[in-house]
Chains A and B, each alone.
Chain A
Amino acid sequence: MAKLGADKIAPGPLQILATAGTLPLALMAFIQLRLRLEKDVRGISYGILNGVLSGIGLLAYYAAVSRGKVAVVGPVTSLFPLLTVVLAFFLLRERLSRTQMVGVALSLVAIGIFSQ
């Protein structure tokens, strides 16, 4: 879907449209919460920062698919969990299994191939 759009629409306008596309779900969530928002400042900050960073990531993703093959950009950008797993290991003390470590290694090989 992003590739179909990114071929013809610049990343900036595409992000504006994507924001518009998020509105109905945000409204639905607001109605389900009976128009009441929780007031946990840290929770709210995490949410907003989450939105800003995922927007920046999406802008870069649109820029990448408009310059490369989506069949390649898709898998490369999908390596983001690598960072999440590492951050979760250090900051949330989540454990990493041996299988996950092999996954980390394979992901690094993929990054190596595509950075050539």
Chain B
Amino acid sequence: MKTLGTNSWFWYSLVTVVSWGAVGLLQKLGTNRISSRSVLIWVFVGFLVLVPFLSFSPLSQLSPYLLSIGILSGFLNALGSLFLFLSLESGATASVAVPLTGLFPLVTVVLGVSILGERPSLLEWVGVACALLGGILLSREPEPIVGS
């Protein structure tokens, strides 16, 4: 048994999987009732709810470059969300559209290996392949029921 310390990244990732998994459902439930743009505004309000719990002090020590990287990552994330809301609003099912958005690591893996020079181990590559293939298969639209 490994302790939480050695692969703590995995447990943090699991928190992400559970929160974002529930978010996928909420996105569909939200866009069923209000417009994509309204959902985006309320998501922003949800972000604001978290802000008082976060520490501001380290911000003053960051360079303008790092500050802009942080802001840009939030902007790109919100832009991606908006397009997902639009697809859900126009009738995409949550069980197809949300898995498609799960393919973002295709881009992340390419960038991580090419720009940051990361070298995942063989077993890690097998895991990456399973996760990516799993994501692709999950996003396949179910065949319509014959005779319905």
Contact residues of A with B, CB < 8 Å? 1-5, 8-10, 12-26, 29-30, 32-33, 37-38, 40, 42-44, 46-61, 63-65, 67-89, 91-92, 94-97, 99-100, 102-110, 113-116
Contact = CB atoms under 8 A, between A and B. Distances in A.
A19 B20 contact: no
Nearest to B73: A1
A44 B26 CA distance: 11
Contacts of B18: 57, 80, 83
Given A44-B34, A96-B95, 18 more contacts: A15-B47, A20-B71, A25-B79, A40-B33, A44-B38, A47-B38, A53-B19, A53-B46, A54-B47, A54-B81, A61-B12, A63-B12, A68-B10, A78-B105, A78-B135, A103-B136, A106-B130, A108-B134
B147 interface: no
Given A29-B38, A113-B123, A84 B95 contact: yes
A1 B107 CA distance: 11
How many of chain B's residues touch chain A, expressed as a range?
A: 35 or more
Per CB-CB distance, the 7 closest pairs between chain A and chain B, nearest first, are: A51-B46, A83-B21, A47-B42, A21-B74, A18-B74, A17-B70, A103-B137
B3 interface: no
B146 interface: no
B69 A1 contact: yes
A92 B28 contact: yes
Contacts, number: 413
Contacts of B118: 69-71
A75 B17 contact: no
Interface in B41-62: 41-51, 54-56, 58-59, 62
